[in-house]
Structure 1
Amino acid sequence: MNLALWIVAGLLAALALFGGATKALMPKDKLDELGRKSGGGWTEHAGASFVRTLGVLEILAAAGLILPALLDIAPVMVPVTAVCWILLMIGAMLTHTRYGQYKFVALNFFYLGAAAFVAWGRFGPESFTA
């Protein structure tokens, strides 16, 4: 179970790092164009600072899912970060629903489930603090 939690947390962290770096570092016009090509495009309706803030939050989530446990510094932050990721995914699902992007809603629901697994496992049976 511990190994599964590490793998899921690592995959979520990689996803968060990639998505966050894209949002935080890519010029907004390029991000808008990429969104149109992929069927997304929600960034066209959002301000550049909002999109960059989401990107920074995703990068922080990537760090929070791995580093506290890896460095054994406040490892309780791993499940707390997973809960924060759940909240972020709920927001993403609402946004994609508003724009009729249901394939992204389903994808975000999958990410939400993975984060819920990490939160449950690290708060419960495989807690770092027990």
Structure 2
Amino acid sequence: MEIAYWIVGGLLAVFYLYAGGKKVAQSQERLLPMMGWVDRVPMPLVRTIGALEVLGAAGLILPPLTGILPGLAVAAAVGLVLIQVGGIAVHVSRGEARLIGLNIVLLLTAAAAAWLGTTWH
């Protein structure tokens, strides 16, 4: 189970480090073609979501890697599940239910990471 966690957690961390980093660093105009929802969400909230994603990525990797409070990895994974619940809600509220496929995959993957994190530490 530990190997499975590292695979799932590592892939999630790479994704969220990239996506969160973009939200933190790029302008609304640069984000808009890939993330159409940023036109209706205040940029401070977009930046906050990005920072939470980056922190979630770090939380998936650093605690179990260092052995310091490895349970925080489970909390990070649950936090990423909640981010995707919010993402699904935003898409549905905008009439974009057809765009929630990636959100559902990320939600399920983060839920799997949370479960895997409870099985080995």
Alignment TM-score, normalising by the size of structure 1: 0.87
Unaligned ranges ≥5, structure 1: none
| Aligned equivalent of 1:20 | 20
Determine which structure has more spread, i.e. the larger CA radius of gyration.
1
Shift of 1:100: 2.5
Runs of 4+ aligned structure 1 residues displaced above 6 Å come to none
Matches within 5 A, 1:88-127: 88-123=83-118, 125-126=119-120
RMSD of aligned residue pairs (Cα, Å): 1.2
Identity within the alignment, %: 37
Measured in 1, the distance between the counterparts of 2:75 and 2:92 equals: 26
Number of residue equivalences: 121
Measured in 2, the distance between the counterparts of 1:104 and 1:18 equals: 19
* More deviation, 40-49/101-110: 101-110
Matches within 5 A, 1:1-130: 1-32=1-32, 34-35=33-34, 40-123=35-118, 125-126=119-120, 128=121
Measured in 2, the distance between the counterparts of 1:7 and 1:103 equals: 28
Unaligned ranges ≥5, structure 2: none
Measured in 2, the distance between the counterparts of 1:95 and 1:47 equals: 13
For residue 7 of structure 2, give the secondary structure of its aligned residue in structure 1: helix
Give the letter for the 2:60 counterpart.
L
